[in-house]
Structure 1
């Protein structure tokens, strides 16, 4: 049971001011530790009654670090001094960590050692507490993990209970994220450079005014029928419950301690305010979640620049050919989720593109976002801020929370660069039981507390258990129903386009690149200027002086201005238009259906529910009879012959079909054109290509993809037959510790290096080590569960050092400096677990989504004379000569071998230089006052289910 600091104790604790103040507060706390008293609960009464549960004990899940994501000031201070953890703050971290070493001997019986029982309800002997915030709802928490099981006798009470439980587990996190969504993090959390960076990254993507947020609520009420009205009623009930907990926690003085540490509430007088939550806060939160995980496309300006550079290097036709080969819109060798030969054409290159708006070389400038810096804002590390997505490199609130807050592992690289989540599903035709099996979940990053929260909801029209994003949890978003389960992966289809609006000046004056009016259907129209002025007070907690700055973006009928340039000498602004912009909440209808047992009854009805999800996701479903897949998203219907990979002229002829700028609505592709399937022999997804002829929005879906790590293993299981929950979980877990470069590309590298004897002893030794590692499985796994030392550590070190060097040696001489720079800006060369320079940052878990492994593989097979479908536009390694290619690779290998471990793994604020295991290790990035130990790297979902339903309604 959670504990709180009594009123007497809190009157003796003052807000820490720097380290000395922190120690003083700790000393006071230690002297009064005996005054702790339990958080008030109603007497343990009847537990949440179990709804009909057809999983019969065969559903399991896990979500590190733990269900409890809230800590009082006393708990934070004792944690910092003694290392203690609040109850249920980290009790799922150990089982999650242990799978990386324990999977080889996994059986169905031992799954319980690595996953929690995901059955409905709480057995009477496992009830820890029952809280009744209203007469029509009970929140029952189990003893083992403290997960809230919410049962309501009315719809309102059920949703009220969901909001109340969210407050208990995540109130500080919810508060933090609603301020991020509104672009107001610095006034809330202080002026640290990374706080500024986060609001500068997210607000330009969805720069909503309060009126904009309210319009999205009204849109659902007025345009989504009875389900829309019910969704908004549910949202209000959820917010009411969250506010009820906010008031109770404030009055009872058991609110999260971060409010004291950031100066929001005085620990002595209790003076201060936790701002009431509103339904529009949920829209702001949804915009952050959608931007992180549910978008795709964008980057058309960067594509235009790399194409122009390729044409400058090779000439118009040859340059376009080379560029297209790197773009890889429809690589015939890439792994597919739908491998049954079905075709779903979308986003392909037109034979004769029309309306393409390429800039004049050298004319592109990023739009300035930040203005009028004062005080500590002048030292903001992001000196070239713009309204495009750029990495946030520092940690907010540093000084209060030593491990930092809101890390770059989730936010850097932009939302469209997030490759997350995986899924493995096998049809009952290939399982031992004859029932389908699924192992799947979202990979949402590692946080303390986690962005997701676990819950069970049982009430009128709602019956589900799983996870929801904190603050938007009136429905379970990923989880299970009575006789079915579902999950999702980010699908990355292209729902964001760039338009080139021609600039003008009122009265016919000559426009410049900085003009703030544009031609819309022939009329010079002023842009809408949106501003956000943020100021903060001095803080010793985050070592910032008082400061302020103003963010400014311009909004047009074609979206937000991101760049300015000229085309044929005429000034233009490039704008970004996302189909889900101004519709952040529309997807709530689909989630409502997922939770409704009267709606989802089979694979077909699940697919129909998924059609209501606007964001770009791959959805997977299983029950006792079927598996199914559906790709959701508001895929805009583009004008005929428009190429969505490049900027397009902002003219009526090239607009989305039926485009209405007032509400940002347009025609979307019908469900039949979305990749979909029922009962394929198996499905895998790791953000790979969905289906034949469906063009991805990015450059990463090539001949080698991390989806191959799943596909090859599951294919073998299916061929053998008799698949069980344990064997499918083992396939996932083995892929989770496998180095993609080692398994998929190292064989070709070794063939080339060993085409002649290697004379240099150091190089020969390294090649032998790499070959032995490959033979053992090319895994990054510990020698024992506690060793923190890799088997084949030297080979892994060589690969980590060699890969970026060999890619550069293979491609840069042929591409030249400028084209090399342009292409690597669009797709990073490497994303190994320790690659802190990659798009996910260090200690992130997720790895091997973005890299040049597919390019390297095609190029080397071409040099070797192997069959290659969809070759690169040119052969690069050694200009196609085997000996010259070998020399280049060996030279790079020699430089890699010479690099000491301290250089390959340079160390950071968590790891000593040269500590290979620690450099890879997953860190639960603190977004509050509680931190957790690092765990062994494993490339798997953050929340994960293992399910097999033996019966059906």
Structure 2
């Protein structure tokens, strides 16, 4: 194998040299003279003096600022493990926090985070670029982060676009094609690419006219700020295109364009298509669908209800279903714990218009048709043999056997509902000023979906992170004397309607009919299609293939399922309030970047009110902390139950709903959860407030937010909180096994209710007890050892939990109901669970699982008081001795599992490697790959801030 690898490297290197050094010339840099007016005497980049953080703001975003790589740099990475400058230099300090947080002090924070002050110190100035006379992009030597300073508004935004092109041109191109459902035609037909576009196209199936209308709506109907936003967006696009043209002409464009066949490396023939404003809408639809959506899933919820009613009868079955739904669990951790109530999407006393399907009648709406060639692989037919790439490239194909996007590299379902926030009021800090540690958990990719930047210009003053391609403003970061961040909120802004089907000729409709009843008329569904085809490339030698995707759109949303209701054929549709409004939130981000607008907590909340996506927004300055939940929350008929499908009847429609514009009446700002100066706030995608439904299963007594809440509550009670102590609380939660901290104690109490006679089981229990006593953490014995402390206990828990859940619940629920409930909420999401919602090596863990159900059930069996218990007792049929037998039997099974069985290995890890099974691997969405780091469950981009002063 080693000899073969050596031959491959030699052949690839020879092929690389044949392509010519002109392919990889670095981009030209315009270095400013020492006395240039673009360089401030104190800090470079023209940074304004108004930085009130005084060195107490820090941030981090792995793997690095640079996300583009020439073909030579990509091949160097594949062959020799080298990396372009600044493409990976934030990865090591980020990864080191998992082993170094215990001794963290305010003075050592910069060992793990960047200095997030405005500007660049003179002795740290690296590259300086002046793409126009009215803007300068200064990059620091340490991280290469772009600091954009403009003297005009247009120039500032042009510079932001130019810097985005420098750092993320390939990624932005990928995502504008993902947003249009055209990834395979652009990047090849690899299975990962097919899966990705098939995930996104049904969420936002737009025509070009749809995209253009969204641009015009912001420009023409959002007042002066809307006009300014579109002018800023156009300048941003102009900057991207300027870099695009220069990199193409100068032959330093991203090498993926060669690998995917868009540009010939030798002749330079080919094109990088110009960017346009509608591309930003397509990009925004991807970002919003990933992180700012909420609701939906009502069909699966209905199937679980029907299954419960079938087993228990209607009354008891509904009670059982409600107890698993946990709509308003009294034990759930809440971001607002001060007694405030914000009723939204609540269950009515007697629901009307509920549209449950006939049992066994539901079928998902098909998406893919007319597969040919390599595309038939998923359809059960053998793919054609790969077609050879051009001869000059064949020696390179072995380096890209998995394509530019390897299988499983990106799955949009992995990232719904992530990110965390910890904020403490100045009343409880050592300095008397608020402290915040917060950021979005957007997954780990190479290059990263977010990019760091500082933007300073007329009406804009901010540093932080923006999603690549929509970075005309900082979306999460800091201003002159304040900082803000967000977590995915997930409240219900998507409803499912049951639309009656019909045939225009009056014949009897079937489930396959493509017309529907609307206000008494039979009208055709709108058919939206994409036909994608591809040819083999260097990076993807998959045989040529094609297929067609089709989505039907109605005035009640897009069709997701078909069924019958009392024998009558219907289509179930998903109606999302942010559909056709993907970029409207640009107004809120513009306000957050405007130092003349945000002056304190009150104006921060007003800015957040202009963001339509479902997010929890957090704010800190030198005086206050604040919270606001954003989103286009539709005003519903109070008699409908939004947790279940609703009849498509005007009586049950959103109030004021206009299908032509997808607008409706929205709940006023006062009805959104919000607060200023609560003693502390925590959020990890948990329940916002009492009576505020988060649109899904899993907000019960045990939630990963408990890992934050318990620690921050204790810190606040003790007082004297510092940036370091709050970061330590976050970092400790990030390496803690939620099951071990919050459910294992009940499991052990059940086991210890009688003496354990089996010596092997006694040893296993003692190992678990020692692990729990030591914090139930998953961390290395010493940094870099790649061996876990309490490794046997961790292995036991990973093997035991799924067996224990099945044995506890399935006998009582029955197989059908158990499966229906697991389709709404997976039973486990440990870091090593590649089958879980986030997939393997994704960092994020313990958001989705049956920990609340197990906790409530075990406490009930133990005879403890449980608020909001399950409707039935399941473990051992509610008997302690029988429950103990269940736990012992499943623990015995778990103890018999070898490490190789618990951690079976994958393309990245050998079987039995526990550390590697958990570890974070940056998923390639381009040609570069990066080093593996130890698991930690924390935001991808993270800020640590404490402002000592205010304007």
Q: TM-score, normalised by structure 2?
A: 0.95
Give the aligned partner of residue 389 of structure 2.
none
- Tell whether the 8 Å contact from 2:233 to 2:472 is kept in structure 1 after alignment: yes
From 166, 169, 172, the equivalent of 2:170 is 172
Give SS of 1:506's match: coil
**2:254 paired residue number:** 256
Matched, 1:286 2:284: yes
Partner of 1:637: 635
The equivalent of 1:582 in structure 2 is 580
Alignment counterpart, residue 88 of structure 1, candidates 66, 80, 86:
86
- 1:545 Cα offset (Å): 1.1
Secondary structure of the residue aligned to 1:507 is coil
Quote the residue 1:391 is aligned against.
none
Find the residue that maps to 1:174 and give its secondary structure: helix
Measure how far apart 1:412 and its partner are: 5.2
How do residues 457-856 of structure 1 correspond to structure 2 at under 5 angstroms? 457-539=455-537, 541-856=539-854
SS of the aligned residue for 1:254 comes to coil
Q: Distance in 1 between matches of 2:362 and 2:319?
A: 23
- What SS does structure 2 have at the residue aligned with 1:844? coil
> In 1, Cα distance between the equivalents of 2:632 and 2:417?
19
> Does the CA-based 8 Å contact 1:806-1:892 persist in structure 2?
yes
Is it true that 1:26 corresponds to 2:13 in the alignment?
A: yes
> Is the partner of 1:664 in helix, strand or coil?
coil
The 1:829/1:399 distance shift into structure 2, 3 A limit, reads farther
Which of 36, 41, 46 is 1:49 aligned to?
46
Measured in 2, the distance between the counterparts of 1:414 and 1:94 equals 24
Give the secondary-structure state (helix, strand or coil) at the position aligned to 1:277.
coil
What does residue 942 of structure 1 align with?
A: 940
| 1:269-325 deviations in Å (ceiling 9; x for gaps) | 000100110110000000000000000100001111110000000011000000000
Taking a change above 3 Å as real, the CA distance of residues 577 and 692 of structure 1, as seen in their structure-2 partners, is: same
2:182 to 181, 184, 187: 184
Query: Per-residue deviation at 1:404?
Result: 6.1
Instruction: Tell me, yes or no, if structure 1 residue 130 matches structure 2 residue 128.
Output: yes
Q: Is the 8 A contact 2:259 2:537 kept in 1?
A: no
Quick one: distance in 1 between partners of 2:357 and 2:744? 40
Name the SS for the 1:463 alignment partner.
strand
Correspondence 1:849-868 to 2 at 5 A: 849-868=847-866
Measured in 1, the distance between the counterparts of 2:854 and 2:261 equals 53
Contact 1:56–1:119 under 8 Å retained in 2: yes
Which structure 2 residue ranges, 5 or more long, are not aligned? 34-38, 382-396
- How far does residue 377 in structure 1 lie from its aligned partner after superposition? 1.0
| 2-structure distance, mates of 1:334, 1:945 | 27
- Inter-partner Cα distance in structure 1 for 2:498 and 2:563: 9
Task: Report the alpha carbon displacement of residue 34 of structure 1 after superposing the two structures with TM.
Answer: 8.6
**3-state SS of 2:754 partner:** coil
User: 1:750: Cα distance to partner?
Assistant: 0.4
SS of 1:508 mapped into structure 2: coil
Partner of 2:376: 378
Structure 2 counterparts to residues 100-179 of structure 1, below 5 A:
100-179=98-177
In structure 2, distance between residues paired with 1:810 and 1:436: 45
Measure the CA separation in 1 of the matches of 2:380 and 2:98.
Answer: 38
Indicate whether 1:316 and 2:314 are aligned: yes
Distance, in Å, in 2 between the alignment partners of 1:790 and 1:763 is 21
- What is the distance in 2 between the residues matched to 1:858 and 1:382? 44
Aligned mates of 2:203, 2:193 — CA distance in 1: 16
Q: CA–CA distance in 2 between the matches of 1:629 and 1:381? A: 48
Structure 2 partner of 1:69: 67
Indicate the residue corresponding to 1:276 in structure 2.
274
TM-score (norm 1): 0.95
Equivalent-residue separation in structure 1 for 2:7 and 2:411 (angstroms): 33
Pairwise CA distance, 1:410 = 5.3
Q: How far off its partner does 1:77 sit?
A: 1.2
Q: Following TM superposition, by how much is the alpha carbon of 1:124 offset from its aligned partner in structure 2, in angstroms?
A: 1.1
**Residue of structure 1 in register with 2:384 after alignment:** none
**Alignment partners' CA distance in 1, 2:174 and 2:544:** 20
2:431 is matched with 433
Matches of 2:184 and 2:342, distance apart in 1 = 45
8 A Cα contact 1:404 1:925, kept in partner? no
Per-residue deviation at 1:123? 1.0
**1:100-130: CA deviation from partner (whole Å, max 9, x where unpaired):** 0000000000001000000000111111121
Superposition deviation, residue 935 in structure 1? 0.2
Cα offset, 1:39, TM superposition: 3.0
- How far apart are 1:539 and its partner, in Å? 3.7
> Would the aligned equivalents of 2:556 and 2:648 in 1 still touch at CA under 8 Å?
yes
Task: Show the counterpart of 1:393.
Answer: none
Query: Which residue among 360, 366, 369 is the counterpart of 2:367?
Result: 369
Please tell me whether residue 422 in structure 1 is matched to residue 423 in structure 2. no
Shift of 1:262: 1.0
CA RMSD of aligned residues (A): 1.7
3-state DSSP of counterpart to 1:334? coil
State how far apart, in whole Å, the 2-side matches of 1:553 and 1:794 are: 49
Secondary structure at the aligned position of 2:290 is classed as: helix
Q: CA deviation at 1:380?
A: 2.5
The 8 Å contact of residues 196 and 410 in structure 2, kept in 1 or not, is answered as: no
How far has the Cα of 1:37 moved from its partner?
5.4
Q: Provide the C-alpha distance between the structure 1 equivalents of 2:379 and 2:736, rounded to a whole number of angstroms.
A: 36
CA separation in 2, counterparts of 1:608 and 1:657? Answer: 24
- 8 A contact 1:343–1:694 mirrored in 2: yes
Q: How many angstroms does 1:196 deviate by?
A: 1.1
Deviation per residue, 1:567-595 (Å, 9 max, x gap): 01110000000000000010000000000
Residue 393 (structure 2) aligns with: none
Distance of 2:11 and 2:591 partners within structure 1: 52
Residues in 2 aligned to 1:350 and 1:98: alpha-carbon distance in whole angstroms: 50
Shift of 1:550: 0.7
CA distance in 1, matches of 2:215, 2:25: 41
* Partner SS, residue 826 of structure 1: coil
- Label 1:490 to 1:667 Cα distance change in 2 as closer, same or farther (>3 A): same
Say if 2:9 and 2:79, in contact at 8 Å, map to a contact too.
Answer: no
- 2:793, 2:369 → 1: CA distance? 49
**Is 2:501–2:517's contact at 8 Å kept on the other side of the alignment?**
yes
Name stretches of at least 5 consecutive residues in structure 1 with no aligned partner. 1-17, 384-396
* Other-structure match for 1:39: 27
Contact 2:47 2:149 in 1 (8 A): no
1:748-785 superposed Cα distances (whole Å, 9 cap, x missing partner): 00000011111222211110000000000000011101
Equivalenced residue count is 921
Preserved contact between residue 192 and residue 398 of structure 1 (Cα < 8 Å): no
Counterpart among 447, 450, 455 of residue 452 in structure 1: 450
Tell me the distance in 1 between the aligned counterparts of 2:660 and 2:26. 53
Question: How many Å separate the matches in 1 of 2:829 and 2:464?
Answer: 30
Specify the alignment match of 1:891 in structure 2. Answer: 889
Q: 1:330 aligns to what?
A: 328
Matched residue, 1:11: none
